[in-house]
Amino acid sequence: MSLPVHLVPSLAGVAAGAVVEVSGDEAHHAVAVRRLREGERLVLTDGLGTSVTGTVASTGKRVLTVSVDAVGREERPSPAITVVQALPKGDRGELAVEVLTEVGADRIVPWAASRSVAVWKGERAARSHAKWQATAREAAKQSRRSWLPTVAPLASTAEAAEVVAAADLAVVLHEDADVPLAALDVPASGRVVVVVGPEGGIADDELATLTDAGAHVVRLGAEVLRTSTAGVVAVAALLARTPRWS
C-alpha cells in the first residue's frame, strides 16, 4: 500500500535523522482526517523536488512531527508541459485541473477566451483561482508528485500568445484542423504548450493571434472532446513520446 503524502513549505537542509514539524491544515488533514498515529509512516514533499520518508513521532490538534528516515530528490521534469486552459463552465474547471495535474502538467494557465461561458471577475476571480490552486495541490498529493504544478493568474488572449511564443513546441487543439497531433515532432526537453479552447470553440481572431505567436493548429482524432478532457488527452499523447514516459 502506498504511503500517504503531505505537503510542507520547505525541506531545505533536511537530512536523515532530522525531525520535521507539520502544522496547520496539512497537519489537521493528516491527524483528524487520515487519522495518522505515532509510529505510522508517511511521505512529506515540498513540491519543489524534495521528498522525505519518515515516521510520525508525535501528533497534536493541528500539528505533527515526523522523524526522517530517508531523503529523495527528483530533477524538474523535462520537457515541461504548460496547458493554457479556457475557462469551462461549472465545476469542469476543477476537473480539468485535477486530471491535468495527475497526468503530469507542470503549469496551468487559466484563459479568458472570448467564448468562455464562465467569467472570472472581482471576488469570484480570486475564489476560482484559489479553487484551481487547491485542486492542483490535492491532485499532486494523490498522484505522488514531487514537483507541484503552478496555476498562473488569469490570462488574456494576448498573454496566452506570449506563453505560446516562449515555447519550444506549442499546439492549439481544434476540431477542424488538418494536421493530427501525432504528426508533430515532440522535443525531448524544453517547454511544450497545449492550448485548449472553450465549449464554444476558439474565435477566429484568437486562433490567428495564437498561430502568429508560433502555435500549430492540430486535431486529436475524429471525436470531439469536452474542454475539460481534451487537454489531458493531448498531454498524455505528447508525454508518451518523450523521455518522461519512456
CATH, residue 105: 3.40.1280.10
CATH, residue 10: 2.40.240.20
What is the tens place of the pLDDT at every residue in 185-238? Answer: 999 999 999 999 999 899 999 999 999 999 999 999 888 899 999 999 999 999
d(CA 11, CA 53) in angstroms, rounded, equals 12
Same structural domain, 128 and 225: yes
d(CA 47, CA 124) in angstroms, rounded, equals 27
Q: pLDDT value at position 1?
A: 66
Torsion-angle region of 204 (φ positive above 0: left; ψ -120 to 50: alpha; else: beta): alpha
Same structural domain, 50 and 84: no
Residue 144 near residue 42, CB atoms below 8 Å: no
d(CA 4, CA 21) in angstroms, rounded, equals 16
Structural domain count of the chain: 2
Same structural domain, 67 and 94: no
**Of 53, 73, 93, the domain-final residue:** 73
Please determine, for residue 2, whether its predicted confidence score (pLDDT) is greater than 90.
no
The torsion defined by the Cα of 237, 164, 139 and 27, in degrees rounded to 10, comes to 150
What is the tens place of the pLDDT at every residue in 113-138? Answer: 999 989 999 999 999 999 999 999 99
The total of other beta-carbon atoms located within 10 Å of residue 205's CB is: 10
